[in-house]
Copies of this chain bind each other. A is one copy, B any other.
Amino acid sequence: MTTERVDRLRETLQEPLLVTNPVNVRYLTGFVSTNAAILVEPDRVRLFSDFRYAEAAKEVEGVEFVETKRALLRGLAELLDGRLGIEADHISYSGFKTLEDGGLELVPRSGTVEALRAVKDEGELDAIRRACAITDRVYERIAGERFVGRTERDVAWQMEQLFHEEGGHGVAFPIIVASGPNGSKPHARATDRAIAAGETVVIDAGCAIDGYFSDYTRTFATGLLPDELKEAYAVCLEAQEAGLAGARAGVSGMDADAAARRVVEDSPFAATFGHGLGHGLGLDVHEAPRLATDSSDTLAAGNVVTIEPGIYLSGLGGIRIEDDVVVTEDGVENLTGFTKDLISVE
A interface residues with partner B (beta carbon < 8 Å): 32-33, 50-56, 69-71, 86, 88-97, 108, 110, 157, 161, 164, 170, 174, 184-189, 274-276, 292, 294, 312, 314
Contact = CB atoms under 8 A, between A and B. Distances in A.
Which of A54, A95, A188 is packed against the most chain B CB atoms within 10 Å? A54
A70 B292 contact: yes
A1 to B, nearest CB: 20
9 contacts: A32-B189, A52-B186, A55-B184, A55-B185, A55-B312, A86-B93, A88-B94, A90-B92, A92-B92
Given A170-B174, A294-B69, A51 B186 contact: yes
A56 B185 contact: yes
Given A88-B94, A89-B92, A108-B94, A274 B51 contact: yes
A119 to B, nearest CB: 23
Given A91-B93, A92-B92, 13 more contacts: A51-B275, A52-B185, A52-B187, A55-B185, A56-B185, A86-B93, A88-B92, A89-B93, A89-B94, A91-B92, A93-B93, A93-B95, A94-B108
Total copies of the chain: 2
A53 B187 contact: yes
Given A93-B86, A108-B94, A275 B55 contact: no
Contacts of A94: 88-89, 108, 110
Contact of A161 (B50, B92, B161, B275): B161
A343 B128 CA distance: 41
A164 B157 contact: yes
A313 to B, nearest CB: 11
A163 to B, nearest CB: 11
A71 B56 CA distance: 37
Contacts of A164: 157
Given A51-B274, A93-B91, A294 B187 contact: no
Contacts of A276: 70
